């Protein structure tokens, strides 16, 4: 019995022999597969247009689970960028920093020993 992902790949190109021909291996090799080998998933995805999540859900996860993970990552990344933007807006300017020392605001406009 074949894996549903392998069946979908075969259905996308028409036959086992056509799939074998398109990926450059022998037809008996493909016929002996019970599921698509991990090292062939990306090649078969590019050849057939069938998503890798359909071809090998055990390796790439079901589509809805991966989408949820992507949404969580995107949310966390957006929060991180918002924090960075806030910090950069409030960062001291170059004129406040001299030789690695921060110049306090109460000295603004007054000469220091570094200015003399």
What are the pLDDT digits (tens) for 44-102? Answer: 999 999 999 999 998 887 656 556 667 788 888 888 888 887 777 766 655 555 555 55
- 80 and 33 both lie in a single domain: no
User: Residues 54, 84: one domain?
Assistant: no
Q: Which two tokens stand for residue 28?
A: 């008996």
Q: Do 46 and 24 reside in the same domain of the chain?
A: yes
Tokens of 102: 């921060």
Domain ranges, residue 9:
4-60
| Spatial distance between the Cα atoms of 16 and 96, rounded to a whole number of angstroms | 70
Residue 79 lies in a domain: yes
pLDDT range class, residue 114, cuts 50, 70, 90:
low
Tell me what pLDDT residue 116 has. 47
> Which has the minimum average pLDDT: 2-6, 16-20, 42-46, 95-99?
95-99
Residues 80, 32 share a domain: no
Q: Are residues 56 and 38 in the same domain?
A: yes
For the cut 80, the answer to whether the pLDDT of residue 28 exceeds it is: yes
On whether both 50 and 73 belong to a single domain, the answer is no
Residues 91 and 47 in one domain: no
Residues 8 and 56 in one domain: yes
The answer as to whether 110 is a domain residue is no
Closest among 64, 26, 60, 65 to 45, alpha carbons compared: 60
Q: Against a cut of 0.85, is the pTM above it?
A: no
How many domains does the chain fold into?
2
Residue 40 maps to a domain: yes
Q: Is the pLDDT of residue 8 over 50?
A: yes
Highest mean pLDDT among 1-5, 34-38, 65-69, 93-97: 34-38
């Amino acid at each position: 019995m074949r894996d549903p992902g392998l069946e979908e790949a075969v259905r996308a190109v028409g036959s086992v022999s056509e799939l074998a021909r398109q990926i450059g291996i022998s037809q008996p090799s493909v016929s002996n597969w019970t599921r698509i080998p991990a090292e062939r998933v990306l090649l078969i995805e590019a050849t057939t247009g069938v998503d890798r999540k359909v071809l090998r859900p055990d390796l790439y996860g079901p589509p809805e689970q991966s989408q949820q993970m992507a949404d969580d990552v995107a949310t966390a990344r957006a929060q991180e960028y918002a924090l960075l933007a806030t910090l950069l807006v409030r960062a001291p300017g170059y004129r406040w920093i001299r030789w690695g020392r921060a110049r306090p605001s109460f000295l603004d406009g007054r000469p220091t020993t570094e200015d003399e």
